[in-house]
Amino acid sequence: MINENGTDLMQETSIIKVEEKIDKKANDFERIMLIYKSAIKVLKTKFDILNEEFDNFCEYNPIDHITERIKSPDSIIEKMNRKELELTYQNLVEQINDIAGMRIVCSFKDDIFKIVDIIENFQDIEIIERKDYVTNPKPSGYSSYHMVVKVPVNFTDKTIYVKVELQIRTVAMDFWASLEHKLKYKKEISKKASKELVNAAKTIAKLDDKMMQIKFNV
């Protein structure tokens, strides 16, 4: 996408501080956010079609619900500072993979890998990174399947491939992750509390496995 000055916003290299440019009224920043919002719309359309197919032509729908989000300017700046990146649009686009995010919440653990298979078969989606925290949870207890994909977004002057982070998890995993985030948000918690969170995650993992056994026995 090109701005009024003829600059390609996805390839801009000028060294201009993001704090000076990233605000809700900055025209170029709004254009970049439009690109990411459009990528979310493309993916959402794909999953809306899948949901209708599952509901109408399949015996079972593995998707419980889907949420999406775009990082706020403050969150983007905070992450760039944490990664010690110079605050430029080029670094924003090239180095930050989760400006646009989608969470796909499934009913059962094996549904996660069904969704992964479906995404792998999307002909126009490029997978550039994946992390399987379902098979190998983080030390904190966090469990989810992460993918970073490139999504084609068609504009009047070109097609842009935009990065979107996907998180695929069960309802139980999502419950734990949501509460863990609220407990840890902008504050340190004790070692005892951290250990209890890990134990809770293990309990939830056992619950997921138990629910799968019940599913196969029904």
- CB count within 10 Å of CB 96 equals 17
* Catalytic residue chosen out of the listed positions 19, 84, 165, 180: 165
Cβ atoms 168, 115 nearer than 8 A = yes
Give 125-143 as a DSSP string: -EEEEEEETTTS--TT---
- CB count within 10 Å of CB 30 equals 12
> Could you tell me how many helices (H) and strands (E) the chain has, helices first?
7, 5
Residue for token pair 């390609």: 8
Question: Which helix (H) or strand (E) covers residue 49, if one does?
Answer: helix 27-57
Cα torsion angle, 92, 94, 100, 106, sign: negative
Instruction: Please report, in angstroms and rounded to a whole number, the separation of the first and last CA atoms in the chain.
Output: 52
Is 165 labeled as catalytic in the residue annotation? yes
Phi then psi for 184, rounded to 5 degrees? -95, -5
CA-to-CA distance for 98 and 71, rounded, in angstroms?
Answer: 8
CA-to-CA distance for 190 and 197, rounded, in angstroms?
Answer: 11
Phi then psi for 21, rounded to 5 degrees? -110, -35
**Residue positions annotated with a catalytic role:** 165
